[in-house]
Amino acid sequence: MNVTPDVKEMLTRLDQEITAKCGSTRGPLIEYYGTLKMYVGDRRTFTAGAGKDRATLGKFFALRLLEEMYNLGYNMHISSDLAREHDQATWFFSKSAIPNENRGRYRVCCIAPGGLRSNKLVLLHHDEYIKQAVMLALGDAWPKGVSKTEDIMSYGELLHEISLNGYWGQTKEDGINTRKAICNLVGRMGGLNWKLLASSNLKGTADSFFFVYDPTFSAQPNDFCMLSLSKNDRFRLINCNHLIEPLKTAITAAGLSIQEQLIYYGSQEIKVRGNPWRSGSNREAIAARRSISRIMEVFGKHGYTPLYAIDVSRSLTDKASILFWKNPSPMNCKYACLSLTSTKRLRLLDFPIDVGAAMRDCIHQFYPFGVQNEVKLPDSNLEINIKGWPWIVHALSKGAAFYHMRAVLGKMMAIAAQHGWYVSISADVSSKVGGDDNNQYPLDVHSIYFVKMQ
C-alpha cells in the first residue's frame, strides 16, 4: 500500500527470489484495490498448521522483506493486527531521513515458536553465536529445560529447531516462564548486537521475532521487563516487581479501581474491578485503553521505554505483553491511543484537540467510503464510525474497505508525526470474542499508541 517505485522494483526482485526457491508460478505483482499484491508460495503459506516447508517460506519472505526495506531506507514502526478473523500482521514503514549510503547493509534473523500449541523454537538465518544465546536464555528462564535440538533443511534453508519441555505461551508456570524467556532472549541477543526489530503475527499463532544486526546496539537481559495483560481484569509484572507502586498510581489515574494485589508464579499481579479487557461498556473499554497510556508514562519516568507489544499464544482471549527496555535516564513523555474497535469504529483518545482534528480530517479526506457519524467523548476525545467494514473482509466488497483503511492509517500516522506524535506500539488490549462454539472470533483489533516527548 502507498508503494513507491523503489519498493515496487524491490518486490519484483523478491518475487523472483521466492519463485525460484519454492517453484511457485502464480504470477507477477498484481494491482488490487489500489494496492500491489504478490503471492508467496501457495494459499496456505501464512496459515497455522500448514507444514514446515510453508512455514519456512513465510519466515524467509518476512525476513528478506525486512532486510530489503531497511536497505532501501525504510524504518519499520509497528506490526499491527487489523482483522477480526484470520488475522495476520500489517507492517507500517516510513522513509528514513538518513541517506541510504550511510545506513549500511542490514541482516535479519528470525526466532519463532512453531505451531498452535508449540513446544518448539525455530531459528532461521542464524549462526552459532545466536544458537548459544538462545540456549543461554532458555537456561536462565525455562526451568523445565530442553528435550532436544536438531538442524533441519527446508527449501534450501538451514533451520535449527529447539524442543522444549513444556509449552510456549501456555498458562500458569509456562506462561510466566515464556515471558521471562522473551526478556532474557532479547537481552542475550542484544549482547551480540542484535536488536529486536519486530514481533509479528505471521500465521495466526504466537508472534515470530525478527532481529536486525546493528553494531551500535548493545543490551543485557537485566535491561528488559514486561507488563502482561491477563485474564479479563489483571496486570502482571515480569522482572519489574519494584515498579508495583508506580503501576498502581497509573492504573487509578486512568479511571480503573484496584481490587487486590496477588503473587502469580513469582510475578506480581494487580487485579482491578470490572472486566476492562472484556468490557462491553464503552466507558470501561475506554478506561482500559487509556490505562495503558498512563502506565507507559509512569514507566518512562522510571527509565523504561515500551519496545514492542507481543502476543505469546494467539489464543482467542490472549492479550498483549508489553516489553520494556531500560534507558540510562528517566523520560517525561505523553501517550495517546488510536483505538480500533467493533466493525467500523475508531476512537482518538488523549490526543491534543488540534492533533485529533487533523487525524479526523485525514479520514474524511482519504477514506473513500465516508464517515457514518461522530460522537464526542469526555475529555475532548472523539469516536468516529465509518462506512464499510475495515476490520472484516466482506464478501460483497471483497475487502475494499479492509485495504483502504490500512492506507488511511498510514497517512494518519504521518500526520500525527508532523505534530510531534510518533507511533510507539500496537497492542491487543481486548479479550472479547463473538460467534458460536464452532466459529469464534475476536471482537476488537489492535489499539495503536503514539508518544510525544515533553
**pLDDT tens string 231-285:** 889 999 999 998 999 899 889 988 899 999 999 988 999 999 999 998 867 889 9
Q: Please tell me the predicted confidence (pLDDT) of residue 83.
A: 85
Distances from the Cα of 45 to the Cαs of 32, 217, 246, 381, 441, in angstroms? 20, 33, 44, 41, 21
**pLDDT tens string 296-328:** 999 999 999 999 999 987 676 778 999 999 987
Average pLDDT over residues 192-212: 92
Full 3-state SS string of 17-30: HHHHHHCCCCCCCE
Q: Please tell me the predicted confidence (pLDDT) of residue 45.
A: 75
Q: How many helices (H) and strands (E) does the chain have?
A: 8, 24
Distances from the Cα of 266 to the Cαs of 227, 253, 263, 438, in angstroms? 14, 26, 6, 36
pLDDT band at 210 (very low <50, low <70, confident <90, very high): very high
User: Grid coordinates standing for 311?
Assistant: 502476543
Given a contact cutoff of 8 angstroms between Cβ atoms, the answer to whether 182 and 310 are in contact is yes
Looking up cell 491477563 gives 230
Q: Please tell me the predicted confidence (pLDDT) of residue 211.
A: 97
**pLDDT tens string 20-54:** 888 766 666 888 777 888 888 777 777 766 678 88
Distances from the Cα of 61 to the Cαs of 14, 135, 138, in angstroms? 8, 25, 27
Average pLDDT over residues 188-199: 96
Rounded Cα gap, residues 392 and 87, in angstroms: 10
Report domain extents, the chain. 5-219, 333-435+442-453
pLDDT at 382 over 60: yes
Tell me the pTM. Answer: 0.94
